[in-house]
């Protein structure tokens, strides 16, 4: 396990005030019998993360239940962890149940209803109701660092991020007042005792010069330097992850402590803080604040003496620590090369995480095999990207100025056409019947996307993360620059990952195992991959929707026709390869022109027999004007839609403020054909195609049915 933390010296010495990242090796639940495995509850997200080797960061809960850093801190720290590509796992006792993966709502409940401080010594007492089967009858416990360490390593989590690590009380050589945090780490004094107990202690260089692994001060809580040299120095998160994994594979069970200096802009000079702390400690002694009342008084007095600067620094520090913990967890997951842990059901139905011995030794789990994806209703094959929205905030003008820097509010979110469609379908269905198939890179953006999507509950089992074997592969990103009214001024999209890499066998297998009723394909794929997806969908009888994405990419639906007289990939009605398409005006025009330029609309093509069978070209404009108005008819949208109908029998053409035009082929038995209210909207319909003559006869019969229905409605 690893902890990013900060040692709260306050009135404690000689440890000073430190920011740390602690690591211990990973343990199985049977190795630590303090809590029976059946008592430990893992949230579904934590369970999934453990089984799929997602980066995980354990977080303590006393910082929320007994801290004074603001009521929104739980959500803020969760967002920090997710933004760096990891899954947050807040530990605590919820209604008598030791829990890993508390939600912000559950934390708010603990704060509202009152929670005891839960150190290692308190876990059994607070968990006793669960042993007696009194589920939900117990009290709440906000776990301290020592309590969190126990729960986190029982769950199998390597990384723990927090704000402050307890130390040794001033005068501890006489009073023996030592924080359980240090006892849990197996040490009292960081620079001396910890080393004698075999615990590794190091500080992040953060760009500072390092000579022979040294040359950097161990940090203080509110200052970057303490005046005490750090026993060792690590350069970055990947180095820290490598040390953690090496210790685990060697089977060394002692703790590891990595110190994380406070961000430079948030720090308070060491000499200034020493004076403030001395003053607060002296006043506490003079006023008789001892024991458990000492630290709360000292903290309050420090806030007063620094005019709340210490609080601001503390918040910045804990965010920095948690962010660093998330980054290390991401690097550790990469080094583990995707090896999951196994999760077994506990005796009470809860999940128990463990690490197979084979994995501890080699880093590769040979016992856990992923299950084949289950069938879904909707499979979306498309893009997912990390979106940056830059909203101009200049004030004096609406639009940002060109060729210079502009003030803005920048937000980050997960986007991409395929993702947006999948998420919308998932929210509508809410039953896990939607799956997204996409690709991300082995980078922070990719890890951020995966952890965010899993948090939504969206099925991501078919999202492929391209690792080190695909160098320079970047996760797709989209940057939008908006004016003061949040209207788009300019956008830049990097979607090369979808056209540079192709895995046709995987795409076909994904459709085969997913067995979707609907397959949605967006145009971010290459022309070859789009055709692969469409053929796979047709082969497995899925109805297929095509999302054009942009005018340029929409043309990929109509690649150059084969030169060897082979039939084109796209089938025509009544056996179309694509059932539905939703282009805007620009995309529709681009698709129409591509189809015409590449021979899809030639008279000799199968397309022409279908179009001619519709019998709607004669007097078409007047009919279009009657249905959609002169402006729409003159825009060319109806003609373009009708020409593409043989290939795409349902087209929804989006026309901005002008609304949308639905153009579709209706089957012979469709009730709209005989509904007088629908008569003016219906031109013709064909159920089956046999020959030009039989089609024309069928169309004439349908027209007669419509005329009779209209006449009857007028009587």
User: Is 431 in a helix, a strand, or coil?
Assistant: coil
8 A C-beta contact, residue 98 and residue 41: yes
- One-letter-per-residue 3-state SS of 277-316: HHHHHHHHHHCCCCHHHHHHHHHHHHHHHCCCHHHHHHHH
Ranges 110-119, 243-252, 667-676, 704-713: which has the least confidence: 704-713
Compute the mean pLDDT over every residue in the chain, rounded to the nearest whole number: 76
Mean pLDDT value across residues 61-75: 77
Q: How far apart are CA 179 and CA 684, in angstroms?
A: 82
The residue that leads in pLDDT, 623 or 170, is 623
- Residue 649 — φ and ψ, nearest 5°? -70, -5
The residue that leads in pLDDT, 360 or 71, is 71
User: What pLDDT sits at residue 297?
Assistant: 84
Model pLDDT for residues 594-617, shown as the tens digit of each residue: 999 998 888 666 777 777 766 665
Q: How far apart are CA 707 and CA 685, in angstroms?
A: 14
pLDDT band at 22 (very low <50, low <70, confident <90, very high): very low
Q: DSSP for 321-354, please give it.
A: HHHHHHHHHHHHHHHTTTPPPEEEE-TTS-EEEE
Is the confidence at residue 360, as pLDDT, over 60?
Answer: no
pLDDT band at 253 (very low <50, low <70, confident <90, very high): low
Is the confidence at residue 152, as pLDDT, over 60?
Answer: yes
Q: How far apart are CA 351 and CA 94, in angstroms?
A: 16
Model pLDDT for residues 461-484, shown as the tens digit of each residue: 899 998 877 877 899 999 999 999
User: What pLDDT sits at residue 32?
Assistant: 35
**Of residues 40, 41, 43, the one with CA closest to residue 78:** 43
User: What pLDDT sits at residue 565?
Assistant: 59
8 A C-beta contact, residue 382 and residue 521: yes
Mean pLDDT value across residues 356-373: 32
User: What pLDDT sits at residue 626?
Assistant: 62
The residue that leads in pLDDT, 617 or 649, is 649
User: What pLDDT sits at residue 128?
Assistant: 86
**Largest alpha-carbon pair distance within the chain?**
107
The residue that leads in pLDDT, 309 or 628, is 309
**Of residues 655, 476, 532, 666, the one with CA closest to residue 583:** 655
Q: CB under 8 Å, gap of 24 or more: what pairs does 238-242 form?
A: 238/331, 240/2, 240/21, 240/23, 240/202, 240/204, 240/328, 240/331, 241/328, 241/331, 241/332, 241/334, 241/335, 242/335
Q: How far apart are CA 408 and CA 484, in angstroms?
A: 9
User: What pLDDT sits at residue 267?
Assistant: 75
546 forms beta bridges with 521, 581
Model pLDDT for residues 288-305, shown as the tens digit of each residue: 887 667 777 888 888 888
Model pLDDT for residues 428-463, shown as the tens digit of each residue: 876 778 999 999 998 888 988 988 888 888 888 899
User: What pLDDT sits at residue 364?
Assistant: 27
Question: What domains can be seen in the chain, in order of their start residue?
Answer: 2-267+309-360 (3.40.1790.10), 370-522 (3.40.1190.20)
User: What pLDDT sits at residue 424?
Assistant: 92
The strand pair at 41-42 and 200-204 is best described as unpaired
């Amino acid at each position: 396990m690893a902890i990013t933390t900060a040692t709260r010296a306050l009135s404690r010495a000689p440890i000073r005030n430190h920011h740390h990242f602690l690591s211990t090796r990973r343990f199985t639940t049977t190795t630590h019998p303090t809590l029976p495995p059946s008592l430990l509850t893992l949230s579904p997200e934590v369970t999934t993360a453990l089984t799929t080797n997602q980066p995980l960061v354990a977080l303590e809960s006393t910082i929320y239940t007994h801290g004074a850093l603001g009521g929104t801190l739980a959500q803020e720290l969760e967002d920090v962890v997710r933004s760096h590509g990891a899954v947050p796992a807040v530990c605590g006792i919820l209604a008598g149940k030791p829990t890993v993966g508390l939600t912000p709502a559950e934390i708010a409940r603990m704060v509202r209803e009152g929670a005891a401080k839960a150190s290692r010594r308190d876990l059994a007492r607070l968990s006793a109701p669960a042993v007696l089967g009194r589920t939900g009858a117990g009290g709440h416990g906000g776990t301290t660092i020592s309590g969190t360490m126990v729960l986190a390593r029982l769950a199998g989590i390597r990384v723990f991020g927090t704000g402050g690590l307890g130390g040794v009380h001033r005068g501890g050589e006489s009073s023996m007042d030592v924080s359980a945090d240090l006892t849990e780490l197996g040490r009292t004094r960081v620079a001396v005792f910890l080393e004698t107990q075999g615990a590794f202690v190091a500080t992040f260089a953060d760009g500072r010069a390092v000579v022979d692994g040294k040359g950097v001060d161990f940090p203080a809580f509110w200052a970057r330097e303490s005046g005490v040299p750090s026993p060792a120095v690590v350069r970055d998160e990947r180095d820290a992850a490598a040390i953690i994994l090496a210790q685990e594979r060697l089977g060394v069970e002692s703790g590891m402590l990595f110190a994380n200096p406070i961000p430079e802009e948030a720090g308070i000079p060491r000499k200034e803080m020493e004076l403030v702390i001395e003053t607060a400690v002296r006043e506490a002694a003079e006023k008789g604040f001892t024991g458990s009342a000492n630290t709360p008084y000292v903290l309050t007095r420090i806030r007063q003496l620094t005019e709340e600067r210490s609080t601001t620094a503390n918040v910045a520090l804990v965010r920095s620590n948690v962010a660093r913990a998330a980054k290390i967890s991401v690097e550790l997951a990469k080094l583990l090369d995707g090896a999951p842990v196994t999760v077994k059901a506990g005796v009470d139905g809860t999940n128990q995480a463990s690490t197979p011995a084979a994995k501890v030794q080699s880093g590769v789990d040979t016992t856990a095999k992923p299950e084949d994806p289950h069938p879904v209703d909707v499979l979306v094959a498309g893009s997912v990207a990390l979106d940056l929205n830059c909203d101009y905030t200049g004030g004096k003008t609406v639009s940002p100025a060109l060729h210079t820097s502009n003030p803005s509010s920048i937000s980050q979110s997960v986007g991409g056409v395929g993702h947006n469609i999948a998420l919308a379908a998932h929210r509508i269905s809410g039953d896990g019947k939607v799956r997204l198939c996409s690709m991300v890179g082995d980078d922070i953006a990719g890890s951020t996307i995966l952890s965010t999507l899993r948090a939504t509950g969206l099925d991501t089992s078919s999202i492929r993360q391209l690792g080190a074997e695909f160098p320079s592969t970047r996760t797709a990103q989209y940057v939008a620059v908006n004016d003061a009214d949040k209207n788009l001024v300019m956008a830049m999209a990097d979607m090369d990952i979808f056209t540079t890499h192709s895995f046709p066998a995987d795409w076909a297998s994904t459709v085969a195992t997913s067995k979707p009723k609907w397959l949605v394909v967006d145009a971010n794929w290459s022309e070859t991959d789009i055709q692969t997806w469409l053929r796979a969908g047709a082969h497995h009888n899925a109805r297929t929707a095509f999302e054009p994405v942009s005018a340029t990419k929409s043309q990929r639906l109509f690649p150059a026709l084969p030169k060897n007289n082979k039939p084109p990939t796209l089938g025509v009605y009544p056996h179309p390869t694509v059932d539905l398409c939703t282009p805007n005006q620009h995309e529709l025009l681009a698709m129409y022109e591509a189809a015409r330029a590449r021979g899809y609309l030639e008279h000799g093509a199968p397309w022409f027999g279908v179009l001619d069978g519709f019998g709607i070209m004669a007097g078409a404009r007047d009919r279009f004007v009657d249905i959609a108005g002169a402006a729409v008819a003159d825009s060319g949208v109806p003609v373009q839609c009708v020409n593409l109908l043989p290939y795409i029998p349902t087209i929804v053409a989006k026309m901005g403020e002008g609304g949308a035009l639905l153009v579709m082929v209706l089957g012979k038995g469709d009730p709209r054909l005989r509904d007088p209210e629908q008569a003016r909207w219906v031109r013709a319909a064909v159920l089956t195609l046999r020959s030009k003559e039989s089609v024309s006869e069928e169309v004439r019969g349908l027209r007669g049915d419509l005329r009779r229905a209209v006449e009857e409605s007028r009587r």
